Amino acid sequence: MAFASSAIEALCSKQRRFFTTVAYVRNKLQGIDVLREPKINKGLGFTFSEREQLKLKGLLPPSFRSQEEQEAAVMKGIRNIRDGLLKYVYLKDLQCTNERLFYRVLCNNTEELMPIVYTPVVGEACLKYSYIYTKPRGLYITAEDAGHVSSILDNWPEKDVRAICVTDGGRILGLGDLGANGMGIPIGKLCLYTALAGIPPSTTLPITIDVGTNNELLLSDPLYTGLRQKRLTGPKYDELLDEFMEAVVKKWGKSCLIQFEDFNNANAFRLLKKYQNKYCTFNDDIQGTAAVCVAGLIASCGLTKTKIRDNVFLFFGAGGAALGIADLLVKAMVEDGLTRIEARSQIWLMDAYGLLSTSRTDLDEQKMRFVKDVKHTSDLEEIINMAKPTALIGASAQGGAFTESILKTMASLNERPIIFPLSNPTSKAECTAKDAYLHTDGRCVFASGSPFDPFSFGGRTFHPSQGNNAYIFPGVALGIIACRVHHIPDFTFLVAAKSLANLVTDEYLEEQRLYPPLHCIRDVSLSIAAKVADYFYSESLATVKPEPTNMFDFVKQNQYDWRYD
Ligand code: NAI
């Protein structure tokens, strides 16, 4: 991997010092105001001479801490807290107090802290968002702002916004409609933009479009912070979303990325289709999920000694996640030499009403693409015996659906059966990692949506893989922002998936890992960003000219640096 030369590093460091000083001088900040500005505050990291110059003496305890020591103190503080939500609140407070320290802590302790700023703790934070809300973060656009959304965007203090993450709170994780409390999601996702891909925080903007909520518990809660009305639907909802998209382009240009997050399924697919070719937008729940799963399936070929086109996939569940994955899988198989019809014939899906078969009359166009002309049944085992899948993928939220008998049937059909119970949270996983390995004599190739701890079986240690979307979206976003594209084709996510799969070394495969370990995730994001940028240039989608000679240096060049000096 190529990195910027030390000369560039030195120049950047000099520039940083210059800009920091300029920020203090230009803002005429002194005394307590310096400590109240999270972008420039260093807390105990201010040297004694800086404290003298900036009139900070007496406003801080008399000791000095290097940034490294500050990180150690924060981590000690966090580890002393037992409750996940309190850890979240502690980190949120740090982010609003000393931004550079917050990102240093998050970057250097990603594995430990990602479950707090992101799933699962962020879910709990969203449930209780109205009670833990203390400081402003992100932008709220409400149904009542229809007709003047632009003026709300004008209130955002940053001039150069490159990436927005937006939710309407319609389906927050597996927790349903959380209305305005969903704000924790775009905030958390954008923290990962910075921590995992180095995207400067000042260029990112979390937005909640509050169109009301159908969650009666929230509506009847006097402390709920959102609009107290049922969800806006129909043309009025669409007009508000259209106005929002237009207002973003007008203010920050066509290349401002808008990531959709946790809209309910019906709106998610509809809006993606509507906006995909018109705006610089993607939906992580659909496209990011698909990419991370397809990456795992491509990597699994290293263990099954097959090509992706040789496989037959059976999806248990045919909702948003499964259909998004199935569509990207078709692209991967076509890339590997099959026709689209052949690829679809090797992808089987079933939902709560059974197999997607020709005899069904309740299927929409998206599902119709995958119907099979065979006897209709709702029995998973019977479908397995008909389809003879090499891979069984669960996206049904039906915990325990992959029973011992199902797993044994998969093991009887395949030397290395691929078993992906993707449903979240852990209680909804179609099977546990232990059960999957146990009932397939340790032969299965496994990845799940929720994390499972490593465990030993038959004298070997297994590291169950977790298909975490964080492997994909920060890197894809970095590539998009660097190239300033105006729209994002679906194929981008196959490029990202292949790039992620390529990072799975023989050593990882030996440990049965289908994804690199989480502590490598920043390097993963860079590699994905560089590949995605390559693709944008090859398709003439990048608007930054001339084409860079080194894509790694190119995507790295505007990365955020949390160091003080
Ligand atoms: P969804 O509600 O759109 O789809 C659920 C599907 O399961 C529907 O097709 C439904 O008919 C089917 N289903 C329900 N009961 C069934 C049964 N008894 N037999 C067969 N099918 C049944 O939900 P979505 O968004 O597709 O998510 C599904 C699961 O996947 C969730 O648990 C979600 O947390 C998980 N997921 C995991 C991701 C990851 O690991 N990166 C990303 C996105 C979703």
Per-residue pLDDT tens for 202-237? 999 999 999 999 999 999 999 999 999 999 999 999
Predicted pLDDT of residue 79? 98
Q: Is 422 in the pocket of ligand 1 (CB under 6 A)?
A: yes
Predicted pLDDT of residue 457? 80
CA proximity to 129, closest of 184, 86, 192: 184
Report which protein residue has its CA nearest ligand 1's atom 44.
Answer: 321
Q: Is 424 in the pocket of ligand 1 (CB under 6 A)?
A: yes
Centroid of ligand 1 to alpha carbon of 175 (angstroms):
13
Q: Compute the distance between CA of residue 191 and CA of residue 106 in angstroms, rounded to an integer.
A: 9
Query: Would you say residue 19 lies in a domain?
Result: no
Task: Note whether 405 and 444 are same-domain residues.
Answer: yes
Task: Note whether 269 and 294 are same-domain residues.
Answer: no
Query: Would you say residue 513 lies in a domain?
Result: no
Residue 9 has pLDDT above 60, yes or no: no
Task: Note whether 439 and 299 are same-domain residues.
Answer: yes
| Residue in 351, 392, 403, 450 to alter for ligand 1 test, most ligand atoms within 8 A of Cβ | 351
Query: Which of 406, 436, 468 delimits the end of a domain?
Result: 468
Mean local confidence (pLDDT), 15-24: 54
Q: Is 229 in the pocket of ligand 1 (CB under 6 A)?
A: no
Task: Note whether 292 and 246 are same-domain residues.
Answer: no
Report which protein residue has its CA nearest ligand 1's atom 31.
Answer: 423
- 80 labelled ligand-binding: no
Task: Note whether 112 and 173 are same-domain residues.
Answer: yes
Catalytic site includes residue 515: no
Report which protein residue has its CA nearest ligand 1's atom 3.
Answer: 319
Q: Compute the distance between CA of residue 70 and CA of residue 75 in angstroms, rounded to an integer.
A: 9
Q: Is 449 in the pocket of ligand 1 (CB under 6 A)?
A: yes
Centroid of ligand 1 to alpha carbon of 400 (angstroms):
13
Catalytic site includes residue 560: no
| Residue in 262, 270, 422 to alter for ligand 1 test, most ligand atoms within 8 A of Cβ | 422
pLDDT band at 558 (very low <50, low <70, confident <90, very high): confident
Q: Is 451 in the pocket of ligand 1 (CB under 6 A)?
A: no
Mean local confidence (pLDDT), 488-509: 97
To the nearest whole percent, how much of the chain has pLDDT over 70? 95
Q: How many domains does the chain have?
A: 2
Query: Would you say residue 502 lies in a domain?
Result: no
Residue 414 has pLDDT above 70, yes or no: yes
Predicted pLDDT of residue 6? 46
Which one of 118, 193, 237, 535 is the catalytic residue? 118
Give the global pTM.
Answer: 0.92
Could you tell me if 59 and 96 are in contact, meaning their C-beta atoms sit under 8 angstroms apart? no
Which range is least confidently modeled, 118-132, 244-258, 295-309, 483-497?
Answer: 118-132
CA proximity to 286, closest of 250, 247, 327, 252: 327
Residue 538 has pLDDT above 60, yes or no: yes
Centroid of ligand 1 to alpha carbon of 174 (angstroms):
10
Task: Note whether 180 and 310 are same-domain residues.
Answer: no
- 311 labelled ligand-binding: no
Predicted pLDDT of residue 461? 85
Mean local confidence (pLDDT), 298-304: 98
Atom of ligand 1 nearest to the CA of 450: 40
Q: What is the pLDDT of residues 504-521, one digit of tens each?
A: 999 999 989 999 998 899
Centroid of ligand 1 to alpha carbon of 317 (angstroms):
5
pLDDT band at 26 (very low <50, low <70, confident <90, very high): low
Task: Note whether 183 and 238 are same-domain residues.
Answer: yes
Task: Note whether 209 and 340 are same-domain residues.
Answer: no
- 435 labelled ligand-binding: no
Task: Note whether 202 and 265 are same-domain residues.
Answer: yes
Query: Would you say residue 322 lies in a domain?
Result: yes
Residue with tokens 């997607």: 356
Mean local confidence (pLDDT), 94-101: 97
- What is the residue range of 317's domain? 287-468
| Residue in 260, 314, 379, 396 to alter for ligand 1 test, most ligand atoms within 8 A of Cβ | 396
Predicted pLDDT of residue 23? 58
- Average pLDDT, rounded, for the chain: 94
- 468 labelled ligand-binding: yes
Could you tell me if 386 and 392 are in contact, meaning their C-beta atoms sit under 8 angstroms apart? no
Query: Would you say residue 348 lies in a domain?
Result: yes
Mean local confidence (pLDDT), 369-375: 97
Q: What are phi and psi of 313, to 5 degrees?
A: -110, 135
- 160 labelled ligand-binding: no
Predicted pLDDT of residue 25? 54
Query: Would you say residue 559 lies in a domain?
Result: no
Which range is least confidently modeled, 14-23, 201-210, 339-348, 372-381?
Answer: 14-23
Query: Would you say residue 229 lies in a domain?
Result: yes
Query: Which of 412, 437, 468 delimits the end of a domain?
Result: 468
CATH code: domain of residue 199: 3.40.50.10380
Mean local confidence (pLDDT), 358-381: 96
Task: Note whether 456 and 330 are same-domain residues.
Answer: yes
CA proximity to 290, closest of 266, 315, 253, 271: 315
CA proximity to 426, closest of 167, 115, 160, 171: 115
Report which protein residue has its CA nearest ligand 1's atom 28.
Answer: 395
Predicted pLDDT of residue 14? 52
Could you tell me if 167 and 263 are in contact, meaning their C-beta atoms sit under 8 angstroms apart? yes
Which one of 189, 372, 531, 556 is the catalytic residue? 189
Mean local confidence (pLDDT), 99-105: 98
Q: Is 432 in the pocket of ligand 1 (CB under 6 A)?
A: no
Task: Note whether 324 and 461 are same-domain residues.
Answer: yes
Residue 319 has pLDDT above 80, yes or no: yes
Q: What is the pLDDT of residues 163-189, one digit of tens each?
A: 999 999 999 987 899 999 999 999 999
Query: Would you say residue 6 lies in a domain?
Result: no
Residue 76 has pLDDT above 80, yes or no: yes
Q: Is 317 in the pocket of ligand 1 (CB under 6 A)?
A: yes
Query: Which of 468, 498, 530 delimits the end of a domain?
Result: 468
Q: Compute the distance between CA of residue 26 and CA of residue 549 in angstroms, rounded to an integer.
A: 36
Centroid of ligand 1 to alpha carbon of 234 (angstroms):
25
Predicted pLDDT of residue 427? 85
Task: Note whether 102 and 120 are same-domain residues.
Answer: yes
CATH code: domain of residue 404: 3.40.50.720
Mean local confidence (pLDDT), 545-550: 96
Q: What is the pLDDT of residues 483-492, one digit of tens each?
A: 999 999 999 9
Q: Is 380 in the pocket of ligand 1 (CB under 6 A)?
A: no
**What are the E-state strand segments in 411-532?**
418-421, 445-448, 455-457, 460-462, 465-466
pLDDT band at 451 (very low <50, low <70, confident <90, very high): confident
